[in-house]
Chain A
Amino acid sequence: KNQVEQSPQSLIILEGKNCTLQCNYTVSPFSNLRWYKQDTGRGPVSLTIMTFSENTKSNGRYTATLDADTKQSSLHITASQLSDSASYICVVSGTGGGNKLTFGTGTQLKVEL
């Protein structure tokens, strides 16, 4: 069964600090992995999308890594801001079958003063 597990489930950090969110998946065959940020009451917004051959991709203060061998990804946030408080969702796409997506349960991040 295709699964995407994220950790930690929730995280509280102080403004200005860095943090790393983890995503482990069992989706096979693998097509791509996406990280989304979802503010409360809003739709998810794409941060990065990574294919099999990509190891690292950055988007501003967000840096995603992918290890397709161990089926792990991380999202690193540097110099956190209050506006980074949101749910971060890892979504893995498999090949074939309409590119079915498997969603992680998300990591709830709260950045405090």
Chain B
Amino acid sequence: GAVVSQHPSWVICKSGTSVKIECRSLDFQATTMFWYRQFPKQSLMLMATSNEGSKATYEQGVEKDKFLINHASLTLSTLTVTSAHPEDSSFYICSAHDRDTGELFFGEGSRLTVL
């Protein structure tokens, strides 16, 4: 079946560095991808909607200059956490919308720990 791959699955970085997370749809084309953040024992919080070939749409309260999103192709979107701080430590998940079937698939998530 369709799979959405996220990489890396976990990353530890020092405060002030930038971290890039990739989200790939492996066997379908995704015109729209979504990025979420999830804190322990809480539900997913939508951060932004990423449309291929255009600028991402950010949810209220999400800093677009801190969370850079690029959706350069129909199978790849990237989230870059710039100048990461400990409070950015979280579980980041992407999802991809299959443009042919309308199904929505989630990646396995990326756990970011900022020291």
**Residues of chain A at the chain B interface (Cβ within 8 Å):** 34, 36, 41-46, 49, 87, 89, 91, 98-101, 103-106, 108
Contacts and interface: CB of A to CB of B under 8 A. Distances in A.
Given A43-B6, A89-B43, A103-B44, 14 more contacts: A34-B104, A36-B106, A43-B95, A43-B107, A44-B93, A45-B106, A46-B105, A87-B43, A98-B49, A98-B51, A99-B97, A103-B43, A103-B46, A105-B42
B35 interface: no
Contacts, number: 47
B106 A44 contact: yes
CB-CB nearest 5 A-B residue pairs: A43-B106, A105-B43, A43-B108, A44-B106, A106-B43
B44 A98 contact: no
Contacts of A108: 41
Interface of B: 4, 6, 32, 34, 41-44, 46, 49, 51, 57, 91, 93, 95, 97, 103-109, 111
B32 A98 contact: yes
A100 B97 CA distance: 11
Contact of B104 (A46, A98, A106): A46
A36 B43 CA distance: 12
Nearest to B110: A43
Contact of B109 (A36, A41, A105): A41
B61 to A, nearest CB: 15
Nearest to A90: B43
A71 to B, nearest CB: 19
7 contacts: A42-B109, A43-B4, A43-B107, A89-B44, A98-B32, A106-B43, A108-B41
